[in-house]
Structure 1
Amino acid sequence: MAKNADTPAMLNQDFRKWVKHWTGKGIGQVALSANISHSRAYAATAESNLVPRDLLLQIVRAAVPKSKSADDQDAWVRHWTKEWEQRWERIEASSRNEKHPLEPVEPVDTAGELVDTATESPLLPDTRHRPVARLPRAVAITALGPITDPIVREITAEHVYVAPEPIPVGYHNRSPISVYIDLHSASCLPEHREALSQFLAVRVRRTLADSNPDRAAIATPREGNLLIGSRVAEICGLPFLIVRTKRAPRFGFPVEGTFTEGTEAIIVDDLVMGTLTRYVAEILRHVGVTTRRCVSIFERTDSVAREQLDSIGVTLDSAYRIDDDLL
């Protein structure tokens, strides 16, 4: 696979050739075995459009040579998933930078005077044209009436942010939302971290009822709430795994932590949305960890998280289902 190809068009062309090489079939025929229509597969890899990451990886898995043994098939999928995913990330980052080049930000201090940009981070968000504000606690408490646990509701009410118009949010497939619940910031306070972790640990213990506790582990995406995930693992007395769905520093190996063959990981996070959790489940399975369940406090119903997990046999247990309309 070419390493210097850095455009979506070249990726699409090479990917179609690669599928043909390994399967002897067109990409549309291979896509059908992954429950992807002919037309969608061809449209997604046409001309200069960057093929969606999840579709790319679904077709990679569908193209595995059936003549190989089960172990060899797993190794083949891991190898080519890594190859195509890394190339996709390079091209996506390059395309994003071309469309949205970084501009100098002039951060303002609390006195309203300009701060010396030479000493500030160049990655500060520019919200001057789309102001984001924290919702007043009294308003949030009322809106969060459906949240039946009083402690979760109180903590959440302190960390609800709203935008005047939808803003794309997400690590892989970005979903436009107007209301954001920031339990990462809430978890930075020890008492809030403990309360939220204890709440989740109760649900995890319930999930563990039909599992072998000697083989169980807790897994949380690197981009997720590691503070809560690690504390839940500690409360439940289970090993903790960190799963990187983007760059993995340890020679590209995506799972950090200790596990053995036969380990079953329960994915734990504060909020599930988009395709992030699905990538976590697929990565765990590629390295030999069984994954059937995900436990979270919140689930965004206006994303495709539940459908994405259902499609790969992962059950999502979310305490509360939310969307922009809630607030």
Structure 2
Amino acid sequence: MALEPDDSPAALNRDLRIWVKNWTGKGIGQVALGANISNSRAYAATANTNLVPRDLLLAIVRAAVPITYDSEQRTDWIRQWSREWERRWERAEATTRGERPRDLQPDPAIQQIAEPPARPNRAVRLDPRLAMPALDRITDVTVRAITSEYVFVTQDPLLVGYHKRSPITVYIDLHSASCSSHHRESLAQFLARRVRRKLGGLDPDRTVIATAREGNILVGNRVAELCGVPFLMVRTTSRPPRFGYAVERTFGDEIDVAINNGVEAIIVDDIVMGSLNSKVAKLLRVHEGIATRNCFSIFERADLSVQDRLADADLVLDSAFTIDDDLVADLKRRAEG
């Protein structure tokens, strides 16, 4: 469905609203434009036959960039579409002065603004009744039941990750699951049993459990409590509030974490799917001088080849279950009906 070539301000406003809807899945009044521009201003400015202000037009374009794009993709996308919409604005502005627009041929990109790939790529929650049969590899009945409630599937791949982003179409959201105190306790108990089974009783004077701030700190903290050892939270992306100090913990009775004390950190998370835990290990070693070797998780994204990244960081992963290409394909088929 191509839009009519029309250089009037009314046509520009109409096409801009359609373009925003196609790229974001939202109406133009629902797209966040920044702290200094209200959403209602964008709606009002494009709901009539007046020419939308140029600065507002460019702010709307910047706000419509797909959230899944990385920094380089965002920059290229904004540059391309800002240029296209400025050209369209200049033609519309010329008509308000009664002048003949210099460029009478509509830009091909603008002509196709109502076409895919501008369709919204929404993530939908898979019905637990459909997810359960695909998750039969999860031998723990409780973990399997919790997982089945938090499976999300997208039509097209979305980029995820804090340091090295990877495209995925299936996501198991145990962060949300952990907002339930009951689920959080079940997941933490499961992980604590695995830690104790492999490492035995942990010495609170020689061992800490660490989780990335961007990981599942709700579960990680509870695992530390169950194992009777201190807990460290490690910020891997956001600017640490205490003068660049990335490792945070309680103060008072905490252990001395100097390198000559031989303290070891055990990394715990719900799902290992990228380079996040490798970054945690590096920060613990650099900032605290803590030896970091073991990493425990409920799931491993084998489809993302995380073992190679962990090996590069000299980490040994103990994961209970794997998410591989076959499981991803099975869950996607079930979501598609």
Which residue is equivalent to 1:98? 75
Q: Which of 226, 238, 263 is residue 235 of structure 1 equivalent to?
A: 226
- Taking the aligned partners of 1:195 and 1:100, their CA distance within structure 2 comes to 44
Please report the RMSD computed on the Cα atoms of aligned residues, expressed in angstroms.
2.3
- Find the residue that maps to 1:234 and give its secondary structure: helix
Q: CA deviation at 1:178?
A: 0.7
- Taking the aligned partners of 1:157 and 1:171, their CA distance within structure 2 comes to 25
Taking a change above 3 Å as real, the CA distance of residues 254 and 178 of structure 1, as seen in their structure-2 partners, is same
Q: Which of 115, 124, 140 is residue 133 of structure 1 equivalent to?
A: 124
Which residue is equivalent to 2:324? 323
Q: CA deviation at 1:100?
A: 5.2
Correspondence list, 1:60-71, <5 A: none
Taking a change above 3 Å as real, the CA distance of residues 170 and 313 of structure 1, as seen in their structure-2 partners, is same
Taking a change above 3 Å as real, the CA distance of residues 94 and 177 of structure 1, as seen in their structure-2 partners, is closer
Q: CA deviation at 1:277?
A: 0.8
Q: CA deviation at 1:214?
A: 2.3
Q: CA deviation at 1:163?
A: 0.7
Cα distance per residue 1:42-78 (max 9 Å; x no partner): xxxxxxxxxxxxxxxxxxxxxxxxxxxxxxxxxxxxx
User: Is the Cα contact below 8 Å between 2:202 and 2:229 reproduced in 1?
Assistant: no
- Find the residue that maps to 2:163 and give its secondary structure: coil
User: Is the Cα contact below 8 Å between 1:187 and 1:227 reproduced in 2?
Assistant: yes
Unaligned ranges ≥5, structure 2: 1-68, 82-117, 332-337
User: How many residues end up aligned between the 2 structures?
Assistant: 213
* Deviant stretches of 4+, over 4 Å: 92-97, 210-213
Q: Which amino acid aligns with 1:310?
A: A
Which residue is equivalent to 1:267? 267
Correspondence list, 1:62-81, <5 A: none
Which residue is equivalent to 2:280? 280
Cα distance per residue 1:194-250 (max 9 Å; x no partner): 000000000111233286442101100010001000011111111000111122221
Taking a change above 3 Å as real, the CA distance of residues 136 and 284 of structure 1, as seen in their structure-2 partners, is same
Taking a change above 3 Å as real, the CA distance of residues 244 and 129 of structure 1, as seen in their structure-2 partners, is same
Correspondence list, 1:1-327, <5 A: 95=72, 97-99=74-76, 129-209=120-200, 212-246=203-237, 247-257=239-249, 258-259=254-255, 260-261=257-258, 262-287=262-287, 288-326=289-327, 327=331
- Taking the aligned partners of 2:71 and 2:177, their CA distance within structure 1 comes to 34
Q: CA deviation at 1:325?
A: 2.6
User: Is the Cα contact below 8 Å between 2:236 and 2:279 reproduced in 1?
Assistant: yes
- Find the residue that maps to 2:303 and give its secondary structure: coil
- Taking the aligned partners of 1:141 and 1:94, their CA distance within structure 2 comes to 37
User: Is the Cα contact below 8 Å between 2:209 and 2:231 reproduced in 1?
Assistant: yes
Q: Percent identity?
A: 55
Which residue is equivalent to 1:61? none
Cα distance per residue 1:135-158 (max 9 Å; x no partner): 111110001011000000000000
Which residue is equivalent to 2:106? none
Q: Which amino acid aligns with 1:283?
A: L
Structure 1 or 2, whichever has the larger Rg, is 2
User: Is the Cα contact below 8 Å between 1:177 and 1:324 reproduced in 2?
Assistant: no
User: Is the Cα contact below 8 Å between 1:277 and 1:305 reproduced in 2?
Assistant: no
Q: CA deviation at 1:253?
A: 1.0
Q: Which amino acid aligns with 1:98?
A: T
Structure showing greater relative contact order (alpha-carbon pairs closer than 8 Å, 6 or more residues apart): 2
User: Is the Cα contact below 8 Å between 2:202 and 2:227 reproduced in 1?
Assistant: no
Q: CA deviation at 1:171?
A: 0.8
